[in-house]
Amino acid sequence: MLSAVAEYIATKGTQKVAIFQSLCGVVPTGVQNTKKSNAYNLGGVRKGAPTNIPFHVLMKIGTFLGGESFYSIAWSMLLVFCDCMVYRRLLTLWFVLYYVGQYLKDLLQLPRPLSPPALKLEHLDEYGMPSTHAMGAFGCSIYLAIMLPEISNYQFSAWVTISIAVIWTLTVCISRVYMGSHTFEDVIGGLILAGSILIGFRSIESNLDSFFLKTDYMPFYLFALITFLLIIYPKPHNSTWSESFGDTAIVGGVFCGCMIAFWYGARYGSEPDFAWLIDEVSFAPKEFLSKIQNIERIKVIILSAFVLLPLVMAFKFLVKAASIKVLKAIFREPKKDKTYRVEGTAKLLAYMSIGLSQVSLYRVVENYMTNWLQSS
């Protein structure tokens, strides 16, 4: 069955990608690079060049809107402007979508579009089916489009939020085919999978949120769960490391760290610096607009970001460096080798520190910056 699917992708699926790229103005450049031939990109890579620059820019934006860099920025912005209930639930959904998508990629091991006839505008050493860009864009945007109008403090029209979600999703999905990274089948499979997960998540999101905030010893349970999920994650044969596994460890670490911080805030909400962590709907629309219009508030946000980002990144660097050094010594592995148990564990712990410190320290830094500006 899988061999038949792989053959279809290699022939008809890839041909559709090549036709679509041609219609969009992508032309071949250079010769085929057979040195980049691997299990993910069979036969090598032939690069393409855009001729329709405005459309190419739009597709680059679509690629960005579905990638890890965008989500890193989005989580920080949500932390500043959004209430914590929405933040927790969206973060949980994002982790589930990403883990399931990456798990299936390395389980099915279906290659990306053959190049040629498809042309590569980006190079990725991961398997193709399903598209996690499509899963994340569809799942997260549709979830926000449905959820925000349901909360009385957010005066959003359902038609407006759904329209934005549809445009966002379409831009991301089309960009994946345009860049030569996925077939239409990869994208459609990701959309169907994300829709199924979203339906199931909506039925249990309240119970999950309650578990993360109220369960005794939740941090231990959650860390054990993330560790178990990484242990059972499918790993390619005869390999010591895969980038898709590393990305999954990163997402799991951020999710675990943030949820531990929220749990701590729920337990010690009487502390001034942590009370905000358990606000169910902390910012009403008028308050949100006042934050945007208030110049002093904007100064506080910018200064807080400049102070917090170096602190968080320094913490992450120290945790990862210390973890790798200790784990290399324990397992007696060469310093330059990347392995699942060492590099994977180090990434998990490092990005846990990012989630934990970002959520826990933001309001502390913000209060300090507010007092500093008022006194200066």
Query: Which residues are part of the catalytic machinery?
Result: 133, 182
Six token digits for residue 283:
């910012």
DSSP states along 241-278: --HHHHHHHHHHHHHHHHHHHHHHHHHTTTSTTTGGGG
What number of CA atoms fall less than 13 Å from residue 91's CA on the CB side? 29
Q: What is the DSSP letter of 164?
A: H
Query: 32 by DSSP, 3-state: which?
Result: coil
CA distances from 309 to 147, 173, 264, 304, 361 (A): 29, 31, 21, 8, 10
What number of CA atoms fall less than 13 Å from residue 143's CA on the CB side? 27
Query: 89 by DSSP, 3-state: which?
Result: helix
Q: Which residue has the tokens 């119970």?
A: 207
Helices 84-108 and 243-267 pack at an angle, to 10 degrees, of: 160
What is d(CA 299, CA 286) in angstroms, rounded to the nearest whole number? 19
